[in-house]
Amino acid sequence: MQQESGSAVLYSASDRIAVITLNRPQARNAVDREVALGLEAAVDRLEDDPELWAGVLCANTAEHTRPVFCAGADLKVIKETGSAATLDTERGGFGGFVYRERTKPIVVAVDGLATAGGLEIVLAADIVVATSRSAFGLAEVRRNLIAAAGGLFRLPRAIGRGPAMDAILTGEPIDARRAYALGLVSRLVEPGAALEEALRLAQQIVAAAPLAVRASRRVVLSAAFEDDETLRRTSREMLDELLASEDAGEGLSAFAEKRPPRWRGR
């Protein structure tokens, strides 16, 4: 199932994976109200569909001489309205995505520049696949703005305080190879191959036990905020829940019978 090609955000799904595409190439995929609402709605569809276990987020850069995954906020909207409020949603924050609570992992495929709010969208995803021609930046200080959609705390967590402070205070982008070396990018591929690799990664994720994937993701994300004792208790509670699920018995049976498990997600 897919939205019309003219939509600012496209959605399709197959083989337990949803593919969400930013589709404003003429505006460098900048976030306006339509993108924010469309991206939030796409994540809602992923979360609400029990047959889908992971998502891939990408961008249409077909018309770009120099590809741009997302240029962040549409500054024309801010200039015309004097506010960035229309670029947020109540549940998702900027782009309907950066603060959206969800349970299913999303892999982001970046082929080109992800800057300002574009990088903040990338940082809100779970795993980053990028091409060698990509770059990541927070250029807000050059426009008398700040990266208020998560970039100021998520980038330091991703690459460390020193490199993040360098990028944030200068506005200089981080090229893909350095981003890979610093740990922001998980898989680095050739230009044009980001979506294919992201789908391959998503397929590996959905081949694993979905309940365990979601529980593991939750603990990893909580690690930045919780103390070790809380994390130990949370991990134990989640393990007990997993052991009580139908998939727990299936996993043990498949292991004993030397066959691939048939996960049900319950």
Residues with a known catalytic role? 120, 140
Structure tokens at 93: 């924050």
Structure tokens at 165: 């402070």
Q: State how far Cα 7 lies from the chain centre.
A: 20
Where b means 16+ CB within 10 Å and e means fewer, 33-53 reads bebbbbbbbbbebbbeeeebb
Work out whether strand 9-14 and strand 17-22 pair parallel, antiparallel, or are unpaired.
antiparallel
Q: Which residue has the tokens 């200039």?
A: 79
Residue 171, CA distances (Å) to 33, 58, 92, 147 in order: 25, 24, 25, 11
The torsion angle over the Cα atoms of residues 44, 99, 32 and 123, rounded to 10 degrees, is -110
Structure tokens at 203: 């397929």
Q: State how far Cα 112 lies from the chain centre.
A: 15
Q: How far apart are CA 214 and CA 222, in angstroms?
A: 12
Q: State how far Cα 146 lies from the chain centre.
A: 21
Specify the 3-state DSSP secondary structure of 149: coil
